[in-house]
């Protein structure tokens, strides 16, 4: 049978990334409290395609993934997957991204009612032409922020607040727990948000937020300060987006730093 993908073409262009996306696959990730957590990732897998090849063999991405099985995903395992992809597809570079929901136990601040918070996370890895592996962790954390200006304008009354999504991407040579990234972000906000709140908890949350007003700029600065004090992190990007409650727009801030330079 003719191998159409491997046909050589003239006057072609190198394609930086070609592969599969939107692939659901069960994975196991490390859990600080329980040892491990089973979840389902949405996966992207790519290789660089040289200019003289017509296409790549898409099914081989799935073959590599299925050989991995439902083992625990670690930076070392991602490195093994990337090496296999490069070898099987005879590629110069390989890339993988696994986006997944991660769940952490949570207690309400006063009643101690139990809840379970979901956080969107991503493991991403690249194996480049120099055989170097680049791994990053990204965590999305929703928090509550109370507007400092509104508090000053509404002395003795209610200040407006909004939910904010903080997105943190880090590169590290140490084990950094997802739980620790979440705690770091929530400590930088006016208040965490919760899945289960009684009335006494709602009052406590709003009182705390009122005492800790935050601009979107405050959030990224505080998270950045805490990240730079965390051992092992050599790159970070922190973004914060406030979903405004009284404006017909969102507000955004970002800090990105390579601490090796």
**Are 69 and 149 contained in the same domain?**
no
CA distance 93 to 72: 23
Q: Indicate whether 101 pLDDT > 90.
A: yes
Domain co-membership, 188 together with 92: no
What total number of domains does the chain contain? 2
Q: Which residue has the higher pLDDT, 33 or 10?
A: 33
Tell me the C-alpha distance between 27 and 86, whole Å. Answer: 21
pLDDT at 71: 79
Q: What is the pLDDT confidence band of residue 157, given thresholds at 50, 70 and 90?
A: low
**Residue 23, domain extent:** 1-131
Closest CA to 108 of 176, 243, 33, 205: 205
- Among the candidates 111, 131, 151, a domain finishes at 131
| Tally of CB atoms within 10 A around 4 | 9
Q: Check whether residue 107 and residue 178 sit in a common domain.
A: no
112 and 227 share one domain: no
9 with 30, same domain? yes
Residue 7: predicted pLDDT: 52
The predicted model gives 4-22 an average pLDDT of 74
The domain boundary, picked from 66, 101, 131, lies at 131
For residue 98, give both structure tokens. Answer: 């696994």
Q: Report the sign of the C-alpha dihedral through residues 108, 110, 167, 81, in that order.
A: negative
- Please give the pLDDT value at position 148: 80
pLDDT in tens, 50-77: 766 666 778 888 899 888 777 789 888 9
Domain C-terminal end among 108, 131, 154: 131
| Claim to verify: residue 121 and residue 14 sit in the same structural domain | yes
- Work out the percent of the chain whose per-residue pLDDT is above 90: 63
d(CA 185, CA 194): 14
Q: Indicate whether 239 and 168 sit together in one domain.
A: yes
Q: Would you say 179 and 33 are in contact if contact means Cβ atoms under 8 Å apart? A: yes
Which of 2-6, 38-42, 114-118, 168-172 shows the lowest per-residue confidence on average (mean pLDDT)?
2-6
DSSP state of 155: T
Q: Per-residue pLDDT for 94 more than 60? A: yes
Please state the rounded mean pLDDT for residues 233-238: 97
CATH number at residue 1: 3.10.270.10
Q: What is the pLDDT, as a whole number, of residue 210?
A: 85
100 and 7 in a single domain? The answer is yes
Q: What is the pLDDT of residue 34?
A: 96
- pLDDT tens for each residue of 109-139: 999 999 999 999 999 999 998 888 899 999 9
Asked if residue 198 and residue 99 are part of one domain, the reply reads: no
Q: Which of 48-62, 183-197, 224-238 is predicted with the least confidence, judged by mean pLDDT?
A: 48-62
145 closest CA partner among 258, 66, 240: 240
> In which band, very low, low, confident or very high, does the pLDDT at 248 lie, cut at 50, 70 and 90?
confident
Examine the domain organization and report whether 123 and 155 are in the same domain.
no
Same domain, 114 and 155: no
Judgement on whether residues 108 and 156 belong to the same structural domain of the protein? no
């Amino acid at each position: 049978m003719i191998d159409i993908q491997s046909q050589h073409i003239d006057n072609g262009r190198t394609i930086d990334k070609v592969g599969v996306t939107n692939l659901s696959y069960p994975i196991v990730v490390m859990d600080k409290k329980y040892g491990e957590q089973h979840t389902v990732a949405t996966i992207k897998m790519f290789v660089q395609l040289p200019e003289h090849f017509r296409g790549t063999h898409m099914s081989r991405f799935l073959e590599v993934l299925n050989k991995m099985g439902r083992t625990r995903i670690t930076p070392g395992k991602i490195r093994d997957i990337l090496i296999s992809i490069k070898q099987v597809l005879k590629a110069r570079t390989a890339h993988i991204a696994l986006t997944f929901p991660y769940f952490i136990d949570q207690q309400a601040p006063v009643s101690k009612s139990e809840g379970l918070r979901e956080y969107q996370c991503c493991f991403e890895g690249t194996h480049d032409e120099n055989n170097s592996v680049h791994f990053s962790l990204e965590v999305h954390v929703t928090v509550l922020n109370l507007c400092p200006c509104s508090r000053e304008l509404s002395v003795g009354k209610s200040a407006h607040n909004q939910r904010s999504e903080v997105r943190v991407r880090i590169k590290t040579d140490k084990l950094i727990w997802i739980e620790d990234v979440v705690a770091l972000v929530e400590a930088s906000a006016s208040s965490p948000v919760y899945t289960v709140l009684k009335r006494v908890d709602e009052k406590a949350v709003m009182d705390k937020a009122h005492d800790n007003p935050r601009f979107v700029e405050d959030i990224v600065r505080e998270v950045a300060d805490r990240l730079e004090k965390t051992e092992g992190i050599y790159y970070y990007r922190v973004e914060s987006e406030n979903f405004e409650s009284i404006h017909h727009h969102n507000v955004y801030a970002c800090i990105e730093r390579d601490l090796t330079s």
